[in-house]
């Protein structure tokens, strides 16, 4: 039977999963792939819609009863955190990072980006949050529809084109505060449908092949890159596909635990019931 897989169309996901999607991983089943933004896959995973699925680490408290967390294939790293953007001419008084009274556009209410934003803005939250499709955030801020926008991924490389400024880099804030990498996206395997150890082996082999022959996936990556320039695609992959993609390791698991423990303490997410170190095999 085919394995149902949901990933984003972003270059890091298509690069990592090219070999698995195209039947190039020995012993892996055929794959039926769905491409969707992470806010969509977060919601679909709650319904158990896919066998393997890319979700936000912030969504794990709602998902680990039904899914195993795989120790590979996801997006963690340093220097790759979400940005809070505003128009360059925005007036903000002596503390421009104070968004009290502002309307902020975010890409999803259970995204890691939004969870980091809520932790950062605790004590002085904005007046209003609007969930907006990712591609509409920067144009909306530039047009004045929103006072600020929370963005991820390739927006790090392109926000200047919209006349926007980075109010805060939430990755820099997180790393300075914790010393840990930023946990962004996770790969989950549905309990009872997929052997997590086998799935981890398939994903790791797909990652290995991606690194061994980057040219093999180029056409596939560009076909789903939403008109991204080649330079931006390469920078995107270079930033988000790293040692944590092959293995979360001690630092990766520590980062996920720290994020969700802090969020649970703040009452932003439920306390998780599973240890992250064993979640994918328990």
Which residues are catalytic, by number? 153
Distances (CA, A) of 19 to 75, 189, 246: 18, 18, 14
Two tokens, residue 152: 């991820």
| Alpha-helical regions (H) of the chain | 11-21, 38-46, 112-120, 134-142, 155-158, 170-178, 196-212, 218-223, 230-240, 243-246, 249-265
Angle 134-261-80 from CA coordinates, rounded to 5°: 40
Which residues, other chains included, contact 89 with Cβ-Cβ below 8 Å and sequence gap of 6+? Answer: none
The string over 92-118, giving b where at least 16 C-beta atoms fall within 10 Å of a residue's C-beta and e elsewhere, is eeeeeeebeebbbbbbbebbbbbbbbb
Which residues, other chains included, contact 78 with Cβ-Cβ below 8 Å and sequence gap of 6+? Answer: 171, 175, 181, 182
Which residues, other chains included, contact 176 with Cβ-Cβ below 8 Å and sequence gap of 6+? Answer: none
Helices and strands, number each (H, E), in the chain: 11, 11
Two tokens, residue 44: 């679909």
Two tokens, residue 256: 């996920």
Which residues, other chains included, contact 201 with Cβ-Cβ below 8 Å and sequence gap of 6+? Answer: none
Angle subtended by helix axes 230-240 and 11-21, to nearest 10: 80
């Amino acid at each position: 039977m085919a394995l149902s897989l949901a990933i984003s169309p972003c270059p890091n996901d298509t690069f990592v999963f090219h070999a698995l999607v195209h039947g190039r991983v020995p012993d892996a089943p055929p794959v039926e792939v769905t491409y969707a933004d992470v806010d969509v896959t977060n919601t679909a995973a709650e319904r158990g819609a896919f066998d393997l699925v890319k979700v936000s680490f912030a969504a794990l408290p709602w998902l680990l009863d039904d899914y195993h967390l795989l120790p590979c294939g996801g997006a963690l790293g340093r220097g790759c955190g979400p940005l809070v953007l505003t128009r360059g001419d925005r007036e903000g008084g002596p503390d421009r990072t104070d968004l009290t009274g502002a309307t902020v556009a975010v890409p999803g209410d259970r995204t890691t980006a939004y969870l980091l934003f809520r932790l950062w803005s605790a004590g002085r939250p904005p007046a209003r949050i609007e969930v907006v499709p990712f591609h509409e955030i920067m144009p909306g801020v530039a047009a004045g529809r929103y006072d600020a926008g929370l963005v991820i991924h390739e927006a790090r490389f392109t926000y200047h084109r919209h006349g926007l400024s980075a109010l805060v880099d939430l990755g820099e804030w997180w790393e300075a505060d914790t010393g840990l990498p930023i946990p962004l996206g996770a790969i989950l395997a549905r309990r009872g449908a997929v052997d997590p150890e086998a799935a981890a082996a398939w994903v790791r082999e797909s990652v290995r092949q991606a690194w061994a022959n980057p040219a093999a996936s180029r056409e596939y990556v560009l076909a789903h890159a939403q008109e991204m320039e080649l330079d931006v695609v390469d920078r995107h992959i270079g930033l988000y596909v790293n040692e944590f993609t092959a293995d979360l390791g001690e630092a990766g698991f520590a980062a996920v635990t720290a994020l969700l423990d802090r969020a649970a303490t703040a009452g932003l997410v439920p306390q998780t019931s599973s240890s992250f170190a064993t979640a994918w095999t328990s």
